Structure formats: C-alpha cells, structure tokens
Amino acid sequence: MTGRASGGSRPFAGTGRLLRLALRLDRLALALWLLTFVVLAAGVAAALDEYYPLEADRAQFAERARLTPAVLALTGPAVGLERAGGLLAWRIGALCVVLAGLMSIFTLVRHTRVEEETGRLDLVRSTPVGRLAPPAAALLVTAGANAALALALAATLVASGLPAGGSLVFGAAVGAGGLFFAAVAAVTAQLFTSARAAKAMATLLLGLAFLLRAIGDASNPTGAGLSWASPIGWAQRTGAFVHVRWWLFGLLFAAAGALLAVAFVLLVRRDVGSGVLAARLGRERASPRLASVSALGARLHRGGLATWTAGYAVAGAALGAVAHSVADLVSDNPAVRDMLARFGGGTQLVDAYLVAMFNLFGLAAAGYAVAAVWRIRAEEVAGRAEPLLATATGRTRFAASHLWFAFAGPALPLMAVGLATGITHGLRTGDVAGQTGRLLAAALVLLAGVWVFAGLATAAVGLAPRGFLAVWVALVACLLIGQLGPTLRLSQWIMDLSPYTHLPRLPGGESTPTPLVALPAVAVALTAAGLVGLRRRDLQPS
C-alpha cells in the first residue's frame, strides 16, 4: 500500500478530527504525566526551601558540589546554586528533561507506528483524511503535551515562591527538550516497522544524550566540553533563574525542526506499514525451541529483560561509585541528615542514601513487571491471542507464559543492581565481599513489593482490562509517596499505602520477616483472582 490517501490534494485534511481523537484517547495518561511533574517540582521546591533556606547555606553547598564530579554527572553544571531557583533547576533539571523525553517518545510512537502496526491506520486512511494528517495530529498532541507541561511547571514553581521569569524559562526548557525527543521519535517511527523497535531506539538515543551530558559535566564543573553535544545539556544551559541564553531555545527548536523534516520526507517515500529499515525475514519453519507457548513468551520478553538487566548493572555501578560523595556533600546539614534518616537504613548516612535509591530501582522493576503483565492484554487486543487459544493451549497456560517474566524476571535486574552497587561501593570502602552481600540482599528484598504490583496488574487484566491504567496510577502514586513522603513528612497512613513502606529498610535497617510473607501472599491472591477472571470473561479485542 502506498503513502497516498483519499485526502487528495489536501495532505493535512482531517488533522483536527484526528487530534481530538488522540487527545480523547490519551487524556488520562497525559494528565498522569503532568501530575507527576507538578508533584515532583512542588515537593523538591518545598524540600530545598526547608533544608537550604539561606543564601549562605546554598553557597556552602554549591562550593562542595563543584568539587564532586560524581554529583555533577547526575545533575549537571553547578551554576547559580546560590539562588533558590538555580538550586532547584540544578537538582531536577536533567531529570525533568529525561522524563519529558520519555513522555514525548511514548506519545509520538503510540499515535504513529503503533497505529500502523495494528492496522488501525489503514481504516483511518480509508476515510477522507490527508496522507500527512495522522502524523501531524500525533505531533500536535505531543507538542501540546510539552506546552502544557511547560506551563504547569512554571505555575508550580511560581506558586512555590520562585521568580516568575525564571520559572517560565525553566518550564520552557523542559518542554523544548521534550519536543526535541518527540522529533527523534518521529524519525525512529519511520525507520522501524515495529513500535517496540522505534521506542527502543529513541529511548537509547535519549540515554546516550544523558551519558554525553554526564561525562561532560563530570569532567568540567562549569559545563563546558562534551556536554554541549547533548540536547539535554542545551536545555539545562538555557540559564533559568541565572542568565538566560535565548539562543539555546533556537538551537533546540531548529534541531527538532530538522528532524521533523527528515521524518516527513521518509514518511512520504515509504509504504504504509513498512519501515525505511526493512525487517529481517524469518525462517520458513519455526525453531523447535518455539514449539510451545512458553517458548514463545520467552522469545517475546528476553530482549527487554536483557536490556533492563544491563541498564540496572550500569546504574548500580554508578550508584556505588557516587554514594560516598553524595553523603559527604550533605554531611554538615542536620536537616538533610534527618530527612535521609527518615528513608531508613539505620544511622549511617550512606546507607540511608542507598535505601532511598534502591527504592527507586524497586519501583522501576515494578514498572517492568506491570508492562510484562500488560503483554497478555496487548496480545489479546492485537488478535494474536485468539489463534493460540484456539489450539490446546488454555488461558491459564497462555497467561503463565507472560506471568513467569513478570514475577521472576525482575529478580535479574535487581540482582544486577545489587551486585554492581556492592562491587563499586566495596572498592571505595575496601570491603567488596561484605558490601556486595549486604547490597545484594537489599536489592532482592524489593521483590516482595514488585510482586504486589505484578499481582495487581494480573487482577486488572483478568477482571477489568479496560481499567488497566489504574495500575500505572497506583505505581506513580507509590513513587511519589516513597520519594516525597519522608521529605514532606506525610502522615503515616499515607505512607502505608505503598507496599514498599512495609519492606525492611536495607542496607542498615532492621529486617523483619512479616512483610516478606504478607506481601507475597497478597500478590498470590491478586494473581489468582486475575487468572479466574481471565478464564471466565470473553476475549475483548478493544
């Protein structure tokens, strides 16, 4: 099928209708993204105002930060930290751009390559719409999400007492960074025939941009050098709350525009459903290793699991290398020490920091588990589950081929992060064997919380598949509770809503067996309910 559609000489005909449809489909997901940014910005602003209220406090912190390359690699150049707004922009700027990039990549690919892969674009193009209307609508909804994000961030920071001008610049920088990676995703969506490959490549380029910025900032405290090769570095150097570099906005928009031009050129030169990079043809006959539904499930999940494991190993090595530096950076601030102590980990500042970071890894692993369970629903929606279930394969067996990876799979990345953190941290302390053992245990304890979310996702797929978004909402809520709760001193009943609150605070904290028994029991009950529901309900292809 060629790229020409029934829109005739009006290539953008029907863009408005498709835009309204995209907004209707994504309204809850985009609202969840925006809420995450707002809560993150408000929570960090409140925390920094409490822990570094005076310019002298911030100046002392800035002096130490500039001498700590490991910290600069995580956050960016230590410029303008003496100002409250500058400290906040430094603390969350890189993180916000990365999150905006992920939001843009997922949204753009969902409304372009996913529509082609599922065949829905063929139905759309059979109506009077222009050939460029679908990608234009996808770009508009993604750009609109980034614009809304910029305004929401600015309004949040102004409400937190920061200057309006700097708040607007910060929000605009994050939105511009997100728009750049939307353009990157627009290109990868043309290159690959599968949505997974398009998202994976765009996310890989996002990670590469962060790595370039990290290496550049760690090697030069003022942010010169290699970090200028990263669009994340451009967004950070726009100078919110310090000295605004307006030309960097022009650079971000020009680069995004060039990438979008490339994407549209590739679009009109390829057939619908194909990619510029042709997919490799499979064998005429399936391998004997694919003779069962379990083997098929392993084939579908193994690439993603390997990527997660490798990423966790790299992140763990970096965490172990910087843990002591971060602890030294805040060691003379009683308020920060008290806040870290509320995360757990006993009396040692380094252990408390590791507890806080490991909780993040545990929540991310829960995200992997939820996505693995969602694959059951995705196969159902795509129509690939029905042919399998028409054979002797039962629904429970079909679901188990994915649930195995949802429950056992997260153990691999968590083991990787525990081992890598233990090795690099042990090299710093001179106790590799001891630190590796205790940090491996701290990582594996998090599996109990991961299993609760895997069970919740299974229950959603079996009992209320159209309400699966609620599982992601619950995961984001637990992320915000876990990371901002100790900082904002939330009520204990709110903290207790997260399963991770009940886990032993390792390393350093006390270990009790009760939650390690109770939480898996909850996961088993939820999973059983989901499997019963899946066996009893009709297949729902949409």
User: DSSP characters for 239-287?
Assistant: -TTS---HHHHHHHHHHHHHHHHHHHHHHHTS-TT--SSPPPP--SS--
Q: For residue 243, count other CB atoms closer than 10 A to its CB.
A: 9
Assess whether the previous peptide bond of 507 is cis (omega < 30° from 0).
yes
CA 454 to chain centre: 17
The number of residues making up the chain comes to 542
175-184 pLDDT tens trace: 999 999 999 9
Q: For residue 346, count other CB atoms closer than 10 A to its CB.
A: 15
Give dist(CA 364, CA 443) in Å, integer. Answer: 12
Give dist(CA 141, CA 108) in Å, integer. Answer: 8
Rounded to 5 degrees, φ, ψ at 488 are -90, 0
Give dist(CA 378, CA 367) in Å, integer. Answer: 16
Q: What is the pTM of this model?
A: 0.83
Give dist(CA 443, CA 506) in Å, integer. Answer: 8
DSSP code for 225: G
Alpha-helical regions (H) of 52-118:
55-65, 69-75, 84-110, 113-118
Give dist(CA 268, CA 541) in Å, integer. Answer: 31
Alpha-helical regions (H) of 111-132:
113-118, 120-125
Query: 67 burial class (0-12, 13-18, 19+ CB within 10 angstroms)?
Result: middle
In the three-class reduction of DSSP (H, G, I as helix; E, B as strand; rest coil), residue 402 is classed as helix
* Cα atoms in the 13 Å half-sphere on the side-chain side of 269: 11
Q: Do 169 and 238 form a contact (C-beta atoms < 8 A)?
A: yes
The reported pLDDT for the residue numbered 249 is 96
Q: How far apart are the first and last CA of the chain?
A: 25
The reported pLDDT for the residue numbered 4 is 44
Residue with tokens 């109770």: 518
The reported pLDDT for the residue numbered 305 is 92
468-487 pLDDT tens trace: 989 999 998 898 888 777 77
Q: Do 476 and 498 form a contact (C-beta atoms < 8 A)?
A: no
Enumerate residues 6+ apart whose C-beta is below 8 A from 450.
Answer: 362, 365, 366, 369, 410, 414
Query: 266 burial class (0-12, 13-18, 19+ CB within 10 angstroms)?
Result: middle
C-alpha distance from residue 371 to each of 251, 304, 450, 468 (Å):
35, 10, 12, 11
Query: 456 burial class (0-12, 13-18, 19+ CB within 10 angstroms)?
Result: buried
In the three-class reduction of DSSP (H, G, I as helix; E, B as strand; rest coil), residue 523 is classed as helix
The reported pLDDT for the residue numbered 2 is 39
Both tokens of 410, joined, read 């997260």
pLDDT lower than 50: segments of the chain = 1-6
- Closest Cα partner for 370 from 470, 481, 236? 470
In the three-class reduction of DSSP (H, G, I as helix; E, B as strand; rest coil), residue 373 is classed as helix
The reported pLDDT for the residue numbered 1 is 35
Q: Do 330 and 91 form a contact (C-beta atoms < 8 A)?
A: no
